Chain A
Amino acid sequence: MDKPKINLAVYWGAACGGCCVSVLDVHEALFTVVEHANLVFWPIALDFKYSDVEAMPDGFIDVTLFNGAVRNSENEHMAKLLRQKTKVLVAYGSCSHMGGIPGLANFTTKEEIFRRAYFDSESTVNPDKVVPVTEYDMPEGKLTLPKFYNDVRTLNQVVDVDYYLPGCPPQTERLVEVFMAIVTGAQLPPKGSVVGARDKAQCDECKRKKTDNKLIKKFYRPWEIQDDGETCFLEQGVICMGPATRSGCGVRCIEGNAPCRGCYGPSPEAKDPGAKMMSAIATMIDAKEPEEINKIINQIEDPAGTFYRFSLPGSILRRKICK
């Protein structure tokens, strides 16, 4: 069966590289991948240039896996360029899906970041207060740098996204499933769907014991308890994002005795990744008096960071309001 190979591209915006590694993690299945696909652009692995992408006709790329958030004008430019040249654009990984870890910068401002990075950090010596600028004239010509945005954006805040493949990084088995579905021409779900993840929450697949004892009087950090290895984390007072997070990752963190942190994002009906979890956590508090309730809640040092660790830019309050 001589089916033409699909053109596949992988690109990284504001990313850590983990998603690209998750693609490489297909190991020997890489041979299956290249049997079905031409890799036409992949900065971490191949030496194609931006000009190669610009020269492609529109829609030339069948599938682009775009990982990383959009944090500067270069990320935005490439998101728009790849959208133009791609038939199916997949937001691959937490960062492009919901903002990811880079998204936590939405708790601060460009000004504060620059101040910290270029002036105040302990090992920095910068008496002339030099900061990066977008344009600089040199005798040889004009030098340019991308513009650093104040707001970290999710991919769909910049371009139209066809599918979301969540995870930090996505489980490689899910990627292979999605890839093979595309390649074999299987019926794909409607545009805008989350693929490579199930519709049910982590709790559905978690093997830990769940009892009816869901009321707690104290929240603990994972290292503050002697985890018995069997009981639901929440029942032991450790915050686990499982109830508000899609399954599909194989509950690998919990199998490693660490509570889920929510990287697969919210289940289909939850409009906001963290709000549902806040609702669930609050319900578990075993107290009726405001003072006692407050005392227990204050054990959660950082609700915003805990419940929106991977999803701040993609949530209803997508950034902190800074003066």
Chain B
Amino acid sequence: MDYKPTIIAFLCNWCSYTGADLAGTSRMKYAPNVRSIRVMCSGRVDPTFVLKAFREGADGVLICGCHPGDCHYHEGNYKCLRRYHLLQKYIQQMGIEKNRLRLEWVSASEGKQFAQLINEMTTTVAKLGPCTVKEVMETLT
């Protein structure tokens, strides 16, 4: 059975979404498994979004923001970083593998890095196999 991972990526408008866009306009080839959701700031990413993504069938969740110090809203990416660490602890407690959730800083000029990141994450998540969250949560045993 050929499983193709689905990765949901939350990209901040100012840096990482622009960086991803650069990968596209530069015609860089990268794994098609990512579904991008643009948010104004990585600090907007509520833990609920991440949990909902897994619950609805995502195999991996990626959060990208501006590099530390470069956040368009000054502190947003730091808030995101703190939430990410707490979220990681929580999802591991719930039996979700830590490599399914990832946070990376991607600047507006880092199109190549974004493409590499997607390829890397797709390989990692593919190796982990499909995420069973949706199936487990939907079946009362």
Residues in chain A within 8 A of chain B (CB atoms): 107, 149-151, 153, 157, 270-272, 274-276, 278-279, 281-283, 285, 287-288, 290, 293-294, 297-298, 300, 302-304, 307, 316-322
Asked if B4 is an interface residue, CB under 8 A from chain A, the answer is no
A302 with B93, Cβ < 8 A, contacts A283-B83, A290-B81, A317-B137 known: yes
Are B81 and A149 in contact (CB-based, < 8 A)?
no
Contacts of A274 in B (CB 8 A): 90
Residues of chain A lying within 8 A (CB to CB) of residue B47: 272, 275-276, 278-279
Against A, the Cβ 8 Å flags (1 = close, 0 = not) of B34-55 are 0000000000001110011011
Any chain A CB within 8 A of the CB of B22? no
B51:A272 contact, CB within 8 angstroms: yes
- Classify the interface of chain A: helix, strand, loop or mixed: mixed
Evaluate whether A293 and B82 lie within 8 angstroms (CB atoms) in the complex, with A157-B140, A319-B136 already known.
yes
Q: Are A281 and B86 in contact (CB under 8 A)?
A: yes
User: In the complex, what's the smallest C-beta–C-beta distance from A306 to chain B, in angstroms?
Assistant: 10
Taking CB atoms, residues of chain A closer than 8 Å to B79 are 282-283
From the candidates B48, B89, B136, B140, name the one contacting A316 in the complex (CB within 8 A). Answer: B48
Q: Which residues of A contact B93 (CB under 8 A)?
A: 107, 302-304, 320
Contacts A276-B46, A317-B94 known; A282 to B136 CB distance under 8 Å? Answer: no
In the complex the two chains form, is B133's CB within 8 Å of A321's CB? Answer: yes
Contact of A282 among B55, B86, B91 (CB under 8 A): B86
* A216 shortest CB reach to chain B, Å: 11
Name the CB-closest residue of A to B47. Answer: A275
Q: Is A303 within 8 A of B86, CB to CB? A: yes
B132 interface contact, C-beta 8 A: yes
Q: B82: which A residues are within 8 A, CB to CB?
A: 282-283, 285, 287, 293, 297
Q: Which of A274, A300, A303 has the most CB of B within 10 A?
A: A303
